Amino acid sequence: MTKWQELILLLLLTLSFSGAALAQEKLDWDELSWEHRQILQQLEQEWDDMTAERQQRLIRGATRWEQMRPAQRQQARNQQQRFQNLAPQQQQLVRQRFQMFNSLSNQQQRQLRNIQQRFQNLPEQERQELRQRYQRQLQQLQRERQIQREAQQEIRESQQRMRQILRESNQQRQQSDPD
């Protein structure tokens, strides 16, 4: 390698590492683009207290928002409104599922999205039948789990009775043995 090639390679490496490091640094509100400030304006007061990671996530979200078509934006608004109308427990469940989804590999996420898309493409009657079948299976599973819990409780109670019988039997034997 010539000295110029080494210098260019070193410069490229330095820039790529410094770009990655900058991506994790906190940003001042004024450093955001006008568009991002408009999208994130409700968060301006909290901005300086946020972690760099959260700031970066919000910036990525704002960038996605900018790239959405109007219909996609309206759909996102509707989803947000539905989420806000949920009970706190349901919101927590949605957050947990979201975190679980995000913890999946890209391939697993794609598979789930494909399944969801195939489901959405089914005629309404078939979707309804699938929902009903799922509900029946869920109810059956819940009944089976309840039976298992009851059986386990009965086993524990039987074991306790057996231990009690054995203790009493041992005590009687000890009392009747005239050592």
Q: Are 2 and 67 within one domain?
A: yes
Q: Are 117 and 58 within one domain?
A: no
Q: Are 66 and 1 within one domain?
A: yes
Split at pLDDT 50, 70, 90, the class of 9 is very low
Q: What's the mean pLDDT when you consider all of the chain?
A: 85
Split at pLDDT 50, 70, 90, the class of 8 is low
Helical packing angle, 106-121 and 124-176, nearest 10° = 120
Instruction: Domain count for the chain, please give it.
Output: 2
**Structural domain containing residue 151:** 100-160
Residue 82 domain-assigned (yes or no)? no
Residue 95 domain-assigned (yes or no)? no
Q: Are 145 and 107 within one domain?
A: yes
For the stretch 140-159, pLDDT in tens is: 999 999 999 999 999 999 99
DSSP annotation string for 36-63 = HHHHTGGGTTTGGGS-HHHHHHHHHHHH
Q: What is the pTM of this model?
A: 0.48
Rounded to an integer, the average pLDDT of 64-70 is: 90
Q: Are 49 and 108 within one domain?
A: no
For the stretch 81-113, pLDDT in tens is: 898 899 999 999 999 998 898 898 999 999 999
Q: Are 55 and 9 within one domain?
A: yes
Residue 111 domain-assigned (yes or no)? yes
- Dihedral sign for Cα 116, 120, 121, 122, please: positive
Q: Are 64 and 122 within one domain?
A: no
Residue 130 domain-assigned (yes or no)? yes
Nearest to 43 by CA among 54, 53, 91, 88: 54
Q: Are 66 and 2 within one domain?
A: yes
d(CA 108, CA 100): 11
Q: Are 59 and 118 within one domain?
A: no
Residue 13 domain-assigned (yes or no)? yes
Contact 34, 52 (CB under 8 A): no
Residue 174 domain-assigned (yes or no)? no
Nearest to 41 by CA among 23, 63, 62: 62
